[in-house]
Structures are given as structure tokens and as C-alpha cells.
Amino acid sequence: MKNTIILSIIYLAFMATAIGQEKYATKTGEINFEASVPSFEEVKANNTNVSAVLETATGNFAALALMKGFRFKVALMEEHFNENYIESSKYPKATFKGTIQDFKLSEVSGKREYLIKGTFNLHGVDKNFEVPAIISVNGEVVMLTAHFVLQPEDFKIKIPSIVSNKIAKDVNVSVVFSLQKQ
């Protein structure tokens, strides 16, 4: 009898945490980046298989992109990106872990801008970052979009001098996550 009571208390406690941990997630988030220089071949890639998870109760947000999932228009550029610059066999993924500041799901009406504070891990290097993001809610879907700029040298990505004038110093990144309620 005592055991049943204890068990049901534990069970109820788990239930409560499960309700508190409401999650929104996607496996088909999109990242585009561009480092083109005018009058040279465009340096642009996109990845449509990016994973992301948002815990609405805490505002914790995590995203993970597999580097080999980035596709370029020019196959040779894709090969160089993987083998020489991003070294995707050694560092197969890029991650971002952070917290959306002052986030309350119930307060999002229409579009609202938030700041996400967190850490990027790319090419094996961690870097703290603040990303402004636009969040909107549509029924069971939370849309999160963001635009930001990264510098390859911050992540110890070396661009050989022979091509450095064809690749921009600032890489423009845009992300779109359509997070479904789990």
C-alpha cells in the first residue's frame, strides 16, 4: 500500500515535469549562407536538413547542422568547402545552444523580435554570440527566423590567399526554423 502511494507520487511528479517541458522541434530547418564577392562566382550554399529544438517553458533553443548537408551550385566549391575549409570529416557538425531572452510563448502575438544568447560551435571552435531573431506563432507552429554575420577567422577557418579575394570576409547567414509542437 505504502509502495503504491510512493509510486503514484513519483508518477505524478514525472507527469508534472513532462507538462512543463513543452517542446517545439524540426528536422527540416533551413540555413543559407553567402560569402559572394561581386563579379566573381557566387559563394552560396544551403542546407535544408537542420535540426532544432525549442523548450518554450525555459526559452532554451538548440540547433544542429550537419556540414555535409550544405549544397552548393558548383560541385567543386562544395568539395573545397568540405575538404579544405570546414573540414567536415573532422568536424561533421555545427551547433548552436542558447536561451531566448525574456521569452514567453503566450506573449508572442504576430511577429516579435527577441535576442538569443548562446554559443556557436563550428569547425571545433566555441564562440559566444547574441543573435537577434524574429519569432511568430501560428497555431502549433513556432516560426523562428534570423539573419547574422559570421567571420571565418573567428572559427579558425583558413581561406588561402589565392582565393581570398573571391570569398567575402563577412559571411551572411540566414536561418528559418518552422518548429512543430511535439
User: Considering all CA atoms of the chain, what is the largest pairwise distance in Å, rounded to the nearest integer?
Assistant: 79
19 vs 22: CA distance, rounded Å: 6
Q: Do 88 and 67 meet the contact criterion of CB atoms below 8 Å apart?
A: yes
Q: What residues between 46 and 75 interact with other proteins by CB under 8 A?
A: 48-49, 51-53, 62-64, 66-69, 74-75
Q: Which stretch binds other proteins (CB under 8 A): 21-29, 127-135, 145-153, 164-172?
A: 21-29
Smallest distance, other proteins to C-beta of residue 141, A: 14
How far, rounded to the nearest angstrom, does the alpha carbon of residue 172 sit from its chain's CA centroid? 14
- Based on its alpha-carbon atoms, the radius of gyration of the chain, rounded to whole angstroms, reads 20
Q: Which of 32, 36, 82, 99 touches other proteins (CB under 8 A)?
A: 82
Q: What residues between 92 and 151 interact with other proteins by CB under 8 A?
A: 92-93
Q: Do 117 and 101 meet the contact criterion of CB atoms below 8 Å apart?
A: yes
Nearer to other proteins, 75 or 162 (CB): 75
Q: Which stretch binds other proteins (CB under 8 A): 3-11, 82-90, 146-154, 164-172?
A: 82-90
